[in-house]
Amino acid sequence: MNKITNRLSIALLFIGLFINAQSKKEVIHFESANPFSLGDIITDLDNQEKQQVFGQLTTPVDSLNPTKKYPLIIGVAGSMGWRKHHLDYLKMYQEQGYATFQLNSFKSRGITSTVGSQDEVTIAAVILDAYRALEKLSKHPKINEDKVAITGWSLGGGVTLFAGWLPLKEAITNQVSFAAHLAFYPPCFINPENLSFTKAPIHILIGEADNWTPAKPCINLVEKLSDKTNISITTYPDAHHGFDSEEPVVWNEKGYSFKDCLFDLTADGDVLMNYLRIPMSNSILQKVGFLFCVDKGVHVGGNLEARKKSLAFAKDFMNNKLLKLK
């Protein structure tokens, strides 16, 4: 009996080692910068303060095909940093055979959260990080550079959406592009006057009850872009910000509610205050601009039905947009 037990233990040990060896994790470092605004990127990128950024790359391991290259999904967290439900998606993608990259824009700058301020690490800075990561990872021996998607939540959803805005993308690079963009509850209340977006597919997932980044501006943006851009949207009833979390809906008193905001975005990347139409080009001007329309306090939390549907949608979206690429 002891022999059988010992053999079983050894067998389980080897099975465990085999499973753990099916993916490889490595920390990737690269140089980015610290632009405050989108305009800083479009008009003055070379003069922005340099910043070292890192993230974690997870790649499958195929011992039978060690030179195989994998499609990659770059993930971008929201203003509360990386949360469990974000990582649930990355784990799902890894189980499907994708490589994933967990971009750590906040930790790279010593920041844990931007809730209640939104200025320590901006969408502009993280968009630049995402493209610099794409440039670096496209040269990685395990990555198929033609099959790299981006996905993100809240602030990261805005990064995912506006990484497809061509005036910005073309100011950063003409060497690499994302093959697909999947944005969860992004800030669509930034209204671009230049409607040139990538031809790659963009999809928005958002809750109809979201009072942090409301759904209506996203619906309007999709309608404006639908003739020229491969963009679409899914809305979930009775779903708040962070609907794909397993956590209960709570009131976050620090969160900014942008339900009454719609900021125009010029072709040069200036986000203009409501009424005064002054560019919110630094932290002080952004705070002034927020006074005209932003309220404090938002609902945040999950809707289990919406979560289930969004996980299934995300899986199908990536399979359809990445795996079917030639």
Residue 3: predicted pLDDT: 54
Residue 323: predicted pLDDT: 80
Mean pLDDT of the 269-274 span? 96
What span, in angstroms and rounded, lies between the C-alpha atoms of 305 and 236?
9
For residue 143 the two structure tokens come to 């990555």
Spatial CA neighbour of 44 closest among 231, 287, 212, 279 = 279
Could you tell me what percent of the chain has a pLDDT over 90? 88
Secondary structure, 3-state, the chain = CHHHHHHHHHHHHHHHHHHHCCEEEEEEEEEEECCCCHHHHHHHHHHCCEEEEEEEEEEECCCCCCCCCEEEEEEECECCECCHHHHHHHHHHHHCCCEEEEEEHHHHCCCCCCCCCCCCCCHHHHHHHHHHHHHHHCCCCCEEEEEEEEEEECHHHHHHHHCCEHHHHHHHCCCCCCCEEEEECCCCCEEECCCCECCCCEEEEEECCCCCCCHHHHHHHHHHHCCCCCEEEEEECCCCECCCCCCCCEEEEEEEECCCCCEEECCCCCEECCCCCCECCCHHHHHHHHHCCCEEEEEECCCHHHHHHHHHHHHHHHHHHHHCCC
Residue 116: predicted pLDDT: 85
Confidence of residue 326 (pLDDT cuts 50, 70, 90): low
Query: Higher confidence at residue 8 or residue 290?
Result: 290
Q: Where are the domains of the chain?
A: 26-247+303-323
Confidence of residue 2 (pLDDT cuts 50, 70, 90): low
313-323 pLDDT, tens digit per residue, is 999 999 999 98
Confidence of residue 85 (pLDDT cuts 50, 70, 90): very high
Number of Cβ within 10 Å of residue 200's Cβ equals 18
Residue 16: predicted pLDDT: 40
Mean pLDDT of the 59-82 span? 94
pLDDT at residue 21 is higher than 80: no
Query: Higher confidence at residue 13 or residue 224?
Result: 224
Mean pLDDT of the 27-31 span? 98
- Superfamily of segment(s) 26-247+303-323: Alpha/Beta hydrolase fold, catalytic domain (3.40.50.1820)
Residue 311: predicted pLDDT: 98
Cα 223 from chain centre: 22
191-217 pLDDT, tens digit per residue, is 999 999 999 999 999 999 999 999 999
Give bridge partners of residue 55 from the DSSP assignment: 28, 103
**Mean pLDDT of the residues in the chain:** 93
151-193 pLDDT, tens digit per residue, is 999 999 999 999 999 999 999 999 999 999 999 999 999 999 9
For residue 54 the two structure tokens come to 């890192």
For residue 150 the two structure tokens come to 């981006």
Question: Taking a C-beta distance cutoff of 8 angstroms, is the pair 122, 291 a contact?
Answer: no
Residue 118: predicted pLDDT: 83
By DSSP bridging, strand 295-300 and strand 180-184 are unpaired
Residue 6: predicted pLDDT: 53
What span, in angstroms and rounded, lies between the C-alpha atoms of 181 and 96?
18
What span, in angstroms and rounded, lies between the C-alpha atoms of 81 and 200?
27
Mean pLDDT of the 281-310 span? 96
pLDDT at residue 38 is higher than 90: yes
105-150 pLDDT, tens digit per residue, is 999 999 999 998 888 999 999 999 999 999 999 999 999 999 999 9
Residue 12: predicted pLDDT: 39
Mean pLDDT of the 255-265 span? 95
Give bridge partners of residue 51 from the DSSP assignment: 32
